[in-house]
Amino acid sequence: MAYEAKNIEKKWQEIWDKNDYFEPKNDFSLPKKYILSMFPYPSGRIHMGHVRNYSIGDAISRYYRKIGYNVLHPIGFDSFGMPAENAAIKHKVHPKSWTYENIAYMKNELFSLGFSFSKKRILATSDPLYTKFEQEFFIKMYEKGLIYTKEANVNWCEQDQTVLANEQVEDGKCWRCGHEVVQKKMPGYYVKITAYADELLKELENLKGKWPNQVLTMQENWIGKSEGLEFKLILDEKSQEKSQENHISVFTTRADTIYGVSYIALSVDHKIVQNLINHSYLESKVIEKIKQIQNQTPRERQSADKEGYFLDIYVLHPLTKEKIPVWVANFVLSDYGSGAVMAVPAHDERDFEFANKYNLVIKKVIECESKLPYTQKSGKLIESSEFSGIECDIARDKIITYFENKKIGKRTINFKIRDWGVSRQRYWGAPIPMIKCEKCGIVPQKIENLPIILPEDIEITGEGNPLEKHPTWKECTCPKCGLKACKETDTLDTFFESSWYFARFASDEKTWQEKALDDPSMKYWMNVDQYIGGIEHAILHLLYARFFQKALRDLGYLTDNEPFDRLLTQGMVLKDGAKMSKSKGNVVDPDDIIKKYGADTARLFILFAAPPAKELEWNDDALEGAYRFICRLYDRAQNVKKGKPLELKQENLNKEEKYARLKVYEALKKSEEVYIQTFAFNTLIASCMEALNALSICKNEALEQEAFYIILNILEPIIPHVCFELSEQLFGCENFKILKLKEEVFVKDTLNLAVSINGKKRAEIEISSSANKDEILKMAKESVFKWIQDKNIVKEIYIEGKLVNLVIK
Ligand code: ANZ
Ligand code: ZN
């Protein structure tokens, strides 16, 4: 019988399915593991990145089941979003049918790879039942003040005709389509992620060692906590009159440089700038320039050449009372701190460049040898009145305290992270469950009326908001006053859906109809023990999900503080050095591999080709190699004696047999560390190959039997179909237990000793570990006979287990 992947794989997939092998058990007394790979977007077909992601998660899940854990390993589809609408425009299909056809196809592909997903807990985030509870969360958050509306400058993608959150703008471009993002003032709903900024930052600490450092650092920088001083600079009398304000607030992280301030820079959106424009104090040429800058994205402003205009107003320095000129400048961010900067050109790069360009005063206040700007945070203060001579770290604190004592400023913390804008002007998303009533204003839908679902008769042209253009959908009555009102026509950012799917998965599916999340399941299954997915979500999904966990905890739905205990970010799958992608035309279709070689070969290749966190370069030869390995394993198993393995007596084995058995047990030992700790599946597979090689020169039936029992067991989480098949053929059991390590196998019964003469190594001997000193010395002398035959040995030194040294004359 030769190896035939197709039949074997079909057979076992049916058996697993029939026996509900992969369903989590509702016995909450068992130890549990919740293993989750990020769910896919139903783009149409599974790609190699998915195969990698799910092969890793599957191997871990299968291992934990094997050692007695109750395992939750679910899958679903992140199924709202733009591509469905783009397909609708291009191919005239309805986004819903496009999506659900893709889901059906991809589900089949996933199960044909033998992934041990629960079938009862599959969900799609576009299901009305999912929308229902998502809208419930939205309303609960709104009522708690965690969601609010405001009109603000937003990132707008012309291509996708929709708003993007800050996290979804990468290098000034749309994360999805790569189109340049522009600024647009619009009303929208915002999630108050900033309310959790401190907690989101603090708890990164607890994730150290469990999440990749790179992800932790990216989140830390994104949250961007700065400690500093906020204080007011009073405008002189004439300037107050002109600007209609009496002061300017600034935020500085470098209070130690307070004596080096030589001008104040305002952002173009600062209230004072607007007031000066409104009262015609600025030249039309300047106003024109300011308008231009206002239309740029923050990023464009940052990368442009420094540019600004003197506003012909002055503030007084809070300590020296000197007059300081006020400028408007393009490099000052509108929505950070107070949108105004105390500029210290001697010690700040941007301030320096600006001062140079406009010939402004540059005043050095930290002692340094190097040329200006000197931006390091070390050195003693100079020209700083009573603070001169103090190290700047200490001075910074002293100056803040001084401001606080005089009640002219306060210690302040600023975060870079901004609230998450979730309104999208697209059709294929969860409707925002809010109503606009002329009398009552903005009113949430009633919980009992959820879900608010999408109309199916819709025209999608790619222009304008489809729900807004629908003739009747938005008509409704106000839940508060009963008058005619309007439904909100924006839908939710799809990251809203993926922020809580892991908790939904953990709920008993029998409760799915009635409630969002069921308590006993949340307490038992959450949080996710091992999460696996791409690094591209480092600050998008992974940050939103952490926020949701905390918000849902505070709304009483969940108890854990963090959603994901451990995180593995798998590396990309490359071909010819580039990421596999349709646009580059270098994709390998997993379906083709399954057809040609079978699912086990695909899985073995993907886990053997590289450690999971590293990039994986596609290699046809290695794929062939994986297939040949499975064929050989199968062929050799045909000659193994059938029946449960017998007890093996270590002392009855010869040298080669002992070595082969050692290799088998080494692989067994390694399996524990790999499946639980390192996930270096490639090294585990290599160990199994080594063991099989060592075994090939032995002719011991019982040893072979034991070895196959163990190796099939170790490899089963990686190549499950063939391992189930062979273990059934050989041992008549379908799911067998990992054997305990036998310590005697690891006891070496021979060891190698170096033999030196006058300290110089001349030979090596292999001795039995039970040999005594006399026997060892005798063997040692024989091994170096030609060097000592006509010499006198004056001293014989034996260092136990290490070496023999003969001193001769
Ligand atoms: C004076 C100073 C002197 C500053 C110096 C830096 C160096 P982080 O660390 O990112 O929080 N700043 C404050 N508000 C700003 C805004 N709206 N747009 C642009 N820059 C702004 O940055 C804080 C520092 O960035 C602050 O400290 C302020 O400049 C500037 F040698 O104040 B500093
Ligand atoms: Zn009303």
* CA angle, residues 775, 781, 782, in degrees to nearest 5: 90
Per residue in 692-733, pLDDT tens? 999 999 999 999 999 999 999 999 999 999 999 999 999 886
Residue 655 contacts residue 625 (beta carbons within 8 Å): no
- The one-character DSSP state at 167 is G
Fold of the domain spanning 590-745: Isoleucyl-tRNA Synthetase; Domain 1 (1.10.730)
Closest CA to 650 of 660, 636, 641: 660
DSSP track, 687-756? HHHHHHHHHTT---HHHHHHHHHHHHHHHTTTSHHHHHHHHHHHHS-SS-PPPPP-HHHHS-SEEEEEEE
Locate the ligand 1 atom nearest the alpha carbon of residue 267 and give its number: 17
CA–CA separation, 435 and 631 (whole Å) = 63
Start-end of H helices in 279-343: 284-294, 298-303
More confident residue, 288 or 735: 288
Fold of the domain spanning 26-133+495-570: Rossmann fold (3.40.50)
- Measured in Å, residue 384 CA sits from the centre of ligand 1 at 19
Is pLDDT of 679 > 60? yes
Q: Is 345 helix (H, G, I), strand (E, B) or coil?
A: helix
Is pLDDT of 737 > 70? no
Residue 208 β-bridge partners: 211
Is pLDDT of 364 > 90? yes
Q: What is the pLDDT of residue 329?
A: 97
Sheet holding 147-157, edge to edge: 162-164, 147-157, 181-191, 420-421
Locate the ligand 1 atom nearest the alpha carbon of residue 348 and give its number: 31
Q: Work out the percent of the chain whose per-residue pLDDT is above 70.
A: 99
CB atoms within 10 A of CB 332: 25
Q: Is the CB of 200 under 6 A from ligand 1?
A: no
Locate the ligand 1 atom nearest the alpha carbon of residue 226 and give its number: 11
- Measured in Å, residue 436 CA sits from the centre of ligand 2 at 8
Residue 758 has phi, psi (to 5 degrees) of 50, 40
Q: Which of 386-390, 449-453, 534-538 has the lowest mean pLDDT?
A: 534-538
Domain at 748-808: CATH code = 3.10.20.590
| Mean pLDDT calculated for residue range 297-314 | 89
Architecture of domain 228-412: Alpha-Beta Complex (3.90)
Q: Work out the percent of the chain whose per-residue pLDDT is above 90.
A: 81
Q: What is the pLDDT of residue 182?
A: 85
Please state the domain extents for the chain: 26-133+495-570, 228-412, 590-745, 748-808
* CA angle, residues 107, 111, 112, in degrees to nearest 5: 115
**285-305 burial code (b ≥16 CB/10 A, e <16):** ebbebbeebbebbbebbeeee
Measured in Å, how far apart are the chain's first and last C-alpha atoms? Answer: 68
| Mean pLDDT calculated for residue range 83-108 | 93
CA–CA separation, 219 and 223 (whole Å) = 6
| Mean pLDDT calculated for residue range 311-318 | 97
Q: What is the pLDDT of residue 738?
A: 61
Residue 39 contacts residue 499 (beta carbons within 8 Å): no
Rg of the chain over Cα atoms, rounded to whole angstroms, equals 35
Give the number of C-alpha atoms closer than 13 A to the C-alpha of residue 564, restricted to the C-beta side.
33
**List of residues 6+ apart from 621 with CB closer than 8 A:** none
Residue 258 contacts residue 250 (beta carbons within 8 Å): no
Is pLDDT of 643 > 70? yes
Q: Is the CB of 252 under 6 A from ligand 1?
A: yes
Q: Is the CB of 257 under 6 A from ligand 1?
A: yes
Is pLDDT of 86 > 90? no
CA–CA separation, 692 and 539 (whole Å) = 44
- Measured in Å, residue 275 CA sits from the centre of ligand 1 at 24
Locate the ligand 1 atom nearest the alpha carbon of residue 339 and give its number: 17
Q: Is the CB of 372 under 6 A from ligand 1?
A: no
What is the band of 735 on the pLDDT scale with cuts at 50, 70, 90?
Answer: low
Is pLDDT of 615 > 90? yes
Is pLDDT of 741 > 80? no
Amino acid identity for residue 163 in this structure: V
Q: Which of 331, 338, 341, 411 to mutate to test the pocket of ligand 1 (most atoms within 8 A of CB)?
A: 341
Q: Is the CB of 249 under 6 A from ligand 1?
A: no
Locate the ligand 1 atom nearest the alpha carbon of residue 340 and give its number: 17
Per residue in 463-511, pLDDT tens? 888 999 999 999 999 999 999 999 999 999 999 999 999 999 999 999 9
Per residue in 557-566, pLDDT tens? 999 999 999 9
- Measured in Å, residue 3 CA sits from the centre of ligand 2 at 70
Per residue in 743-783, pLDDT tens? 777 777 778 889 999 989 999 998 887 788 888 999 999 99
Q: What is the pLDDT of residue 520?
A: 96
The answer to whether 590-745 and 748-808 have equal CATH topology is: no
Residue 326 β-bridge partners: 264, 313
Q: Is 582 annotated as a binding residue?
A: yes
Per residue in 176-217, pLDDT tens? 788 988 888 889 999 999 999 999 999 999 999 999 999 999
Structure tokens at 164: 């993007």
Determine the angle formed by the axes of helices 681-695 and 599-608, rounding to 10 degrees: 110
CA–CA separation, 513 and 784 (whole Å) = 83
Q: What is the pLDDT of residue 12?
A: 96
**List of residues 6+ apart from 347 with CB closer than 8 A:** 254, 257, 260, 364, 365, 366, 372, 373, 374, 375
Amino acid identity for residue 214 in this structure: Q
Tell the residue nearest (CA) to atom 20 of ligand 1.
Answer: 332
Q: What is the pLDDT of residue 736?
A: 57
Q: Is the CB of 253 under 6 A from ligand 1?
A: yes
Q: Is the CB of 263 under 6 A from ligand 1?
A: no
CA–CA separation, 568 and 566 (whole Å) = 7
Structure tokens at 33: 């593991």
CA–CA separation, 158 and 92 (whole Å) = 21
Q: Is the CB of 414 under 6 A from ligand 1?
A: yes
Q: Is the CB of 344 under 6 A from ligand 1?
A: yes
Per residue in 138-175, pLDDT tens? 999 999 999 999 998 888 888 888 888 887 888 788 88
Is pLDDT of 734 > 60? no
Q: What is the pLDDT of residue 739?
A: 64
